[in-house]
């Protein structure tokens, strides 16, 4: 399962980062900036696939995302370098990556609506909306979208009834009759409800609600719903980030380890959930990259905006470079701290919250 989780994480993260870099690449080409290399993965280089014009297309050893190397990164005096372009072109280049992440999120959310998303419905049973990693429910095989029809052969039709049945059998083995994806042939699982469960979980470690069904939508409606959901996800994440900054919500960050852990949990719920998770991460990358932090696209956009405000007078590139260097050091430190807490969370069996 660890190998599957790693492969799934690499695929999901690579798609999100690659599309981001594709946005930078497209604007660079359209604006006449010389693109020296467009690479899949990160160096060291393994293979040069082709060379078209000034651009090398490569495959690299670290299989996460990709990168764009444009003229100006190493030789700012090149007449076709990015640094020689107007502030508007440089701003468009920086914005293109994050914008492509939003476009990707819309496409993926729309695809999920076309394939079929889980929605509340009426009928018998209780829907499973989330399963905590390492919980009795996870160990028993319960999944997102399952419908619990009975506990010890007694029908349950509300979350309250299910909770009462579980509370009546704490620290005892119970049998849950489950319907999965509408199939009425029951899945019988065994679980040991806990009397000493974590404070943020119930005895089984599930979030419940009305029964769920999978509903598919035609392409036109799916695109509209996908755009609405992408926008809603942006608003939700910005509000959550603002709440953390203001101290109104706990700081809950995750690095690659935490994201990989969450990806491992998501793949248990099926392909559609993986598609939705990828869209969620794409929105996440959009927001993070637009934060006004030196070295990120948002931090570089601040300098472009200052240049426009100053009537086209650029800030000394050496000073700007120093600011971005400090930003890289700070981001590296933050990465190490977040990774440390990711490892702690992994060792303690705490689930990273998904979308």
Domain that holds residue 204: 118-214
How confident is the model at residue 308, as a pLDDT?
Answer: 92
**Same domain assignment for residues 301 and 209:** no
**Same domain assignment for residues 124 and 196:** yes
Per-residue pLDDT reduced to its tens digit, 200-213: 567 888 889 999 88
How confident is the model at residue 251, as a pLDDT?
Answer: 67
- Given the residues 21, 36, 307, 320, select the one marked as catalytic: 21
Using alpha carbons only, give the angle 127, 233, 273 rounded to the nearest 5 degrees: 45
How confident is the model at residue 229, as a pLDDT?
Answer: 96
How confident is the model at residue 350, as a pLDDT?
Answer: 63
**Same domain assignment for residues 206 and 150:** yes
Tell me how far apart the alpha carbons of residues 234 and 283 are, in angstroms, rounded to a whole number.
Answer: 6
Indicate whether 355 pLDDT > 60: no
How confident is the model at residue 185, as a pLDDT?
Answer: 63
Indicate whether 248 pLDDT > 80: no
* pLDDT grade for 26, boundaries at 50, 70 and 90: very high
Indicate whether 247 pLDDT > 80: no
**Same domain assignment for residues 270 and 203:** no
Of 160, 192, 214, the domain-final residue: 214
| Burial per residue of 188-221, b for 16 or more beta-carbon CB atoms within 10 angstroms, e otherwise | ebebebbeebeeebbbbbbebebbbbeeebeeee
* pLDDT grade for 94, boundaries at 50, 70 and 90: very high
**Same domain assignment for residues 107 and 178:** no
**Same domain assignment for residues 191 and 92:** no
Least confident of 99-108, 269-278, 340-349: 340-349
Using alpha carbons only, give the angle 33, 35, 41 rounded to the nearest 5 degrees: 145
The residue ranking higher by pLDDT, 274 or 62, is: 274
Of 193, 214, 235, the domain-final residue: 214
Indicate whether 63 pLDDT > 90: no
How confident is the model at residue 155, as a pLDDT?
Answer: 93
Residue 287 located in a structural domain: yes
Indicate whether 84 pLDDT > 60: yes
Indicate whether 137 pLDDT > 80: yes
**Same domain assignment for residues 102 and 172:** no
How confident is the model at residue 76, as a pLDDT?
Answer: 65
Q: Give the pLDDT mean for 269-284.
A: 94
Indicate whether 258 pLDDT > 90: no
Strands 206-209 and 183-191: unpaired
What percentage of the chain exceeds 90 in pLDDT?
43
Least confident of 181-190, 227-236, 264-273: 181-190
What percentage of the chain exceeds 70 in pLDDT?
92
Whether 174 and 164 have beta carbons less than 8 Å apart is answered as no
Indicate whether 334 pLDDT > 80: yes
Active site residue 119: no
**Same domain assignment for residues 18 and 106:** yes
CATH number of the domain that 146 lies in?
2.30.42.10
Indicate whether 171 pLDDT > 90: no
Of 190, 214, 238, the domain-final residue: 214
Per-residue pLDDT reduced to its tens digit, 289-308: 999 999 899 999 999 999 99
**Same domain assignment for residues 201 and 259:** no
Q: Mean pLDDT over all residues of the chain? A: 87
Phi, psi of 124, deg, nearest 5? -75, 155
Per-residue pLDDT reduced to its tens digit, 222-241: 999 999 999 999 999 999 88
How confident is the model at residue 272, as a pLDDT?
Answer: 93
**Same domain assignment for residues 326 and 263:** yes
Least confident of 12-21, 52-61, 157-166, 257-266: 257-266
**Same domain assignment for residues 266 and 189:** no
Whether 208 and 159 have beta carbons less than 8 Å apart is answered as yes
**Same domain assignment for residues 152 and 99:** no
Q: Give the pLDDT mean for 102-127.
A: 94
Q: How many domains does the chain have?
A: 2
């Amino acid at each position: 399962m660890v190998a599957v989780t790693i492969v799934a994480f690499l695929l999901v993260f690579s798609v999100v980062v690659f599309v981001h870099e594709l946005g930078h690449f497209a604007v660079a080409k359209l604006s006449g900036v010389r693109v020296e290399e467009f690479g899949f993965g990160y160096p060291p280089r393994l293979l040069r696939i082709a060379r078209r014009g000034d651009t090398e297309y490569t495959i690299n050893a670290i299989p996460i995302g990709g990168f764009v190397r444009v003229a100006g990164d190493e030789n700012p005096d090149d007449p076709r370098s990015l640094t020689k372009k107007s502030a508007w072109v440089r701003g468009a280049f920086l914005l293109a990556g994050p914008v492509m992440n939003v476009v990707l999120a819309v496409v993926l959310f729309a695809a999920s609506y076309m394939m079929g998303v889980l929605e509340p419905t009426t009928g018998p049973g209780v829907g499973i909306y989330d399963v905590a990693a390492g919980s009795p429910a996870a160990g028993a095989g319960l999944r997102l979208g399952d419908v619990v029809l009975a506990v010890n052969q007694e029908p349950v039709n509300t979350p309250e009834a299910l909770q009462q049945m579980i509370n009546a059998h704490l620290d005892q083995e119970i049998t849950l009759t489950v319907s999965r994806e509408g199939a009425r042939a029951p899945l019988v699982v065994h679980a040991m409800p806990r009397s000493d469960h974590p404070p943020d979980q119930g005895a089984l470690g599930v979030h419940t609600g009305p029964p769920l069904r999978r509903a598919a939508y035609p392409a036109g409606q799916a695109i509209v719903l996908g755009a609405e959901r992408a926008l809603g996800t942006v608003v939700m994440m910005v509000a959550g980030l603002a709440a953390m900054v203001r101290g109104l919500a706990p700081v809950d960050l995750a690095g690659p380890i935490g994201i990989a852990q969450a990806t491992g949990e998501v793949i248990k719920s099926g392909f559609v959930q993986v598609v939705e998770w990828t869209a969620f991460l794409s929105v996440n990358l959009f927001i993070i990259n637009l934060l006004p932090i030196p070295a990120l696209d948002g931090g570089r956009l601040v300098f472009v905006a200052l240049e426009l405000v100053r009537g086209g007078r650029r800030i000394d590139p050496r000073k700007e470079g120093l600011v971005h260097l400090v930003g890289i050091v700070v981001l590296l430190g933050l990465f190490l701290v977040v990774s440390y807490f990711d490892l702690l969370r992994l060792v303690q069996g705490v689930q990273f919250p998904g979308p």
